[in-house]
Structure 1
């Protein structure tokens, strides 16, 4: 008679965990299994180490970029405050244009002093990485210019800066203040061929 409580042959071995298969008869883990476990742990540690190195490099670059930006743009707020001084000096220099000088020696000396002060002031700004944006005659650029009005001027391509109402400034590679300008309208499109005049066409059919 067959014992109903008897376990079929092989059932116990199939139910045994995989780790047990790697154990030696006395219950210890085999060297091969131990090596595989250590290799897996080493690979994990190596991956964590590489990730940590990448994070440290990114942090170093970010800190370096912040230091460089701090050096470039540290005077941004101060620069904006002193632009009004530059504007006033420009207005004072324009108050006595060169064609109106030569009549009064005192006025001439005063105008010359304003010109020298304005020139020195501009050089000081450039020393600190602050450059003027004076786009007269250039194509309008919304990144650097602010259009205040349009002027009918058919001698210029549409969108050309025909008047600078207020000089703009950039600090390093950032816009500090846009140039306020007037742009032309109604002229020929940039790159379009100029209208022909009688006799201007050369006949090449001969």
Structure 2
């Protein structure tokens, strides 16, 4: 049977905490040392709490930014798919204008209808943030222009877009398709031509 005398050699909880806090020291911690440890542990826990709060706030901001980006550019695949059709309408307009430039020709009504459809498509894309890239006569910008050819020209300053082969488009500030262009370069000098 267990008697009260058998339990006298079991240390109390406070004694076991004090001696276990300093293993190998042999001396129990004083109240001041225990208080310092508790204060340090509380400060560490508070610091971890603040860091976790900051991480959570940064996560919320990042998710909000990503959600806004997704909303802003959600029409990108559709716009990419429509650009070849817009190019085809432009080719049809140019072809009609070259074939019968007279206003009273039979193709004039068709040309006017295709121009109206083209205008509507560009207008709808514009409402969603799609804009054509200005190219002809502009300085060559490799971020929005793709040079297909360089042509010596004395009429244009060097590195100026002389002709636009295929129109490029932006969706807000992002390039959907760069403009394919022909760029001017300085003509060869007379001394270079003689050699």
TM-score range, shorter chain: 0.7 to 0.9
Q: 1:108 — aligned with what?
A: 108
Question: 1:42 corresponds to which residue?
Answer: 42
Shift of 1:31: 2.8
Query: C-alpha offsets along residues 38-88 of structure 1, whole Å, 9 cap, x if unaligned?
Result: 210111011101110121122112211211111111121121111111101
Post-superposition offset of 1:148: 0.4
Alignment RMSD: 2.1
Shift of the alpha carbon at 1:187? 5.3
Alpha-carbon distance between aligned partners in 2 of 1:101 and 1:79, rounded to the nearest angstrom: 34
2:160 alignment counterpart: 160
**2:47 corresponds to 1:58:** no
SS at match of 2:108: helix
| Secondary structure class of the residue paired with 1:88 | helix
C-alpha distance in 2, partners of 1:139/1:165? Answer: 16
Whether the aligned pair in 2 keeps the contact of 1:153 and 1:184 (CA below 8 Å) is yes
Q: How does 1:115-194 map to 2 (within 5 A)?
A: 115-186=115-186
**Matched position secondary structure for 2:135:** coil
* 1:37 alignment partner, SS class: helix
Residue segments in structure 2 that go unaligned for 5+ positions in a row:
1-23, 189-195
Aligned to 1:97: 97
Matched residues, number: 164
Q: How far apart are the structure 2 equivalents of 1:108 and 1:151?
A: 35
Distance 2:102 2:136 in 1: 25
DSSP 3-state at the match of 2:40 = helix
SS at match of 2:162: strand
Distance in 2 (CA, whole Å) between partners of 1:63 and 1:145 is 33
Larger helix proportion of the pair: 2
Question: Deviation at 1:163?
Answer: 0.2
Deviation at 1:130, TM superposition (A): 1.3
Partner-residue secondary structure (3-state), 1:183 = strand
**Equivalents in 2 of 1:187, 1:42: separation in Å?**
76
Name the SS for the 1:163 alignment partner: strand
Whole-Å separation in 1 of the counterparts to 2:103 and 2:80: 35
TM score, norm. by length of structure 2: 0.77
